[in-house]
Amino acid sequence: MKKNIQLKQSTGQTKKLKNFICDLLLKLIASPDGTIAPTLLKILILYRYTIAAGEKKDTLITLPIALIPVTSFDEQDIDGTGIACNSLNDNILNWFSINNPVCNNGQIVFSATLYSNPTNNESPQPLFVLDDVKIYVAEIEDLFPGKKMGKNPARTIQRKQRKSINSSKTNLQNS
C-alpha cells in the first residue's frame, strides 16, 4: 500500500525543521480519535540531492544522516518540547552544519518503523514501516543559517559561487 503524507507546519509558524518533525510525529503516533500514547519508533534519516541544478530528479544521490534507535516518542515530542524530538532535530541540523551538503533538489527523507509496546519480558516487535517521507530543503529556513535561500536554494548558492569566481577573475585581470 502506497500513501502520500503531506508534511506541513501550522499556519503562522516559521518554516523550522522542528515544526516539520512535530507534524511527522503527530501523523505517526496520534490515534484516529486524537489521543496520543507513548509510541516506540526507529527512524532512519537520509539526504537526497542531484549533482547539478536542473538535473532530473531521478538521478538522486543519497547520503545517510542518522539512524535513531528504537525510542519512545510521546505528546511532548509532538509539542516540540520532548527530548527525543529535540535530539532528532539537533542531529539533522548538526549534520547539515558539519557536512554543508549540495542542495540541488535537496530532500530530507525519513523512514520510520513503528514498534509494539512490550509487556512483561517481551521485546518490542516491528509493526509497520513508513518509507520515503520527504521534506524539501528549500522549505526549511534553519538548515543553512545565515544564508538567504529564497525559493531555490541551489540557484542562490550557484549565484554566490559565480559572483565569487567573477570577482576572482576581475582581481586577476586588474593585477
65-97 pLDDT, tens digit per residue, is 999 999 999 999 999 999 999 999 999 999 999
Average predicted confidence (pLDDT) for the chain = 79
Q: Is the pLDDT of residue 34 over 90?
A: no
Q: Is the pLDDT of residue 28 over 70?
A: yes
Q: Using alpha carbons only, how large is the chain's radius of gyration in Å?
A: 19
Question: Where is mean pLDDT largest: 2-11, 32-41, 160-169?
Answer: 32-41
Q: Is the pLDDT of residue 13 over 50?
A: yes
| pLDDT confidence tier of residue 124, bands split at 50, 70 and 90 | confident
| pLDDT confidence tier of residue 10, bands split at 50, 70 and 90 | very low
* pTM metric for this prediction: 0.74
Q: Can you list the positions of beta strands (E) in 31-116?
A: 39-49, 61-73, 107-115
